[in-house]
Every structure is written in structure tokens, then in C-alpha cells.
Amino acid sequence: MIFASHEGVSSGGSVKHPAAGNGSFPATLDELPQPLTPEQLAAEWDEEQPPHAGPLANVAAAVTSAALGIAGLAMSVAMGLGTPAKPEPGLWPFIISLVMVAMSVALLAFGRRKLDAEAFSSSSWQVAAGVGTLVGFVLVVGVAGFEIPALLLTFIWLRFLGKETWRMSVLLSFAVTAAFYLIFVVALNVPIPHLF
């Protein structure tokens, strides 16, 4: 197990990606950043990690999973456990819930200090807003077809969550909705609710 030692190092975000280039790339090699040694690179990536959440995040996670496990235990017992030779439906969920509770206690007892949770920041509200648009999409799609919610969702994601320009957002959201209409309704004839 040569790689087991990563245990001790805390980790944060996923693999980084450039993504956000705005089009103008310098042409010469000299403008590129200097190459770094693996150690420097690791340090740099580590700096870019989002801030860690404190031990409280782990406590919250442990309490949540312990609560889930205890609820699982209670419901399994209600379903009936039986014996190993003649198990009732609750036996297997009971075993799993037991593992879950045990591991939650272990997390609470020994894993609290490990800083592998990420702190929520002001940009986490963007995620909440994103989820809001998804919920809105499902609420509307059954009533009014997918075109209008798709248009709005794309626009909101481009303009407000993606910080694209107004022009770009309007043009692209119409283009994307039209493309989806052509692909899913006209070409594939998928029975998604639609207006036209």
C-alpha cells in the first residue's frame, strides 16, 4: 500500500481546469508561466483549494449519518429481524444501519479533526439558486411544456450563474432551446411535454 500515506493530507476541490479563458491567448512561449517541480505544483494546487470547514462540519455529517442509521435501525426492527436461518425483511437493513451508526460514531470520535470538508462560501448561494431553477423547471414542465422553462433556465445559468454577457446569454439560450426542440421533439420524437 504505497499510496496509503495520502490519508494524512487534507483534500479539497476536484481537479482544476482552466475553463474560463476569455479568448485572447498570448502567442509566445515566454508568456507562459514557469514550469514547477512536482512539490511546488502540489503546494500551488493546495493553495488553490477552497477553504476548509472546521471540525464542526464533520460533527454535523456524523450526526446526520448517525441519525439516518438510527432511523434505519428503528424501521428495520419494526419490519422484523427473524433469525439468520429464517431472516425477516428487516435483518439486512438492520445490519447495514448498524454499520452506519458504528462508522458515524467512529467519525465523531476519531475523524473530527480531519479537514476534508469544504466551507460554504457566498458562492454557495449560486448552487442554491441553481437548484431553485431546477425545481422551477420541474414544476413548470408538466404544465406548460419544456420550451419556456428550458429557455429561462439556460438564460439564468448563462447570465447570472455563468456571468456571460447579456447578448451572449440571450442568443445562446434561444439557440440551445431551439436545438433541444429540434433534437428531442422533431428528430427523436421523445414524449417530453412541449407547447408546439
Ranges within 102-131 binding another protein (CB under 8 A): 103-104, 106-107, 110-111, 114, 116-118, 120-121, 123-124, 126-127, 130-131
* 73 touches another protein by CB under 8 A: no
Residue 89: name the closest of 100, 75, 79 by CA. Answer: 79
Contacts of 32 (CB under 8 A, 6+ apart): 26
Contacts of 30 (CB under 8 A, 6+ apart): none
* 26 touches another protein by CB under 8 A: yes
Q: Which of 67, 75, 77, 182 binds another protein (CB under 8 A)?
A: 75
Q: At what angle do helices 124-144 and 147-156 cross, to 10 degrees?
A: 170
Q: Which of 51, 54, 77, 88 binds another protein (CB under 8 A)?
A: 88
Q: Which residues face 48 on adjacent strands?
A: none
Q: Which CB atom, from 57 or from 170, has the smaller least distance to another protein?
A: 57
Rounded to an integer, what distance in angstroms lies between the CA atom of residue 174 and that of residue 150?
A: 9
* 145 touches another protein by CB under 8 A: no
Least distance CB 40 / another protein (angstroms): 9
Neighbours of 153 (CB within 10 A): 21
Q: How many residues make contact with another protein (CB under 8 A)?
A: 108
Q: Which of 55, 70, 145, 164 binds another protein (CB under 8 A)?
A: 164
* 14 touches another protein by CB under 8 A: yes
The CA-based angle 183-184-187, given to 5 degrees, is 55
Q: Which of 63, 92, 178, 182 binds another protein (CB under 8 A)?
A: 92
Least distance CB 106 / another protein (angstroms): 5
Interacting residues with another protein between 30 and 69 (CB under 8 A): 31-39, 41-42, 45, 48, 50, 53, 57-58, 60-61, 65, 68-69
Four-CA torsion 7, 12, 14, 20, nearest 10 degrees: -150
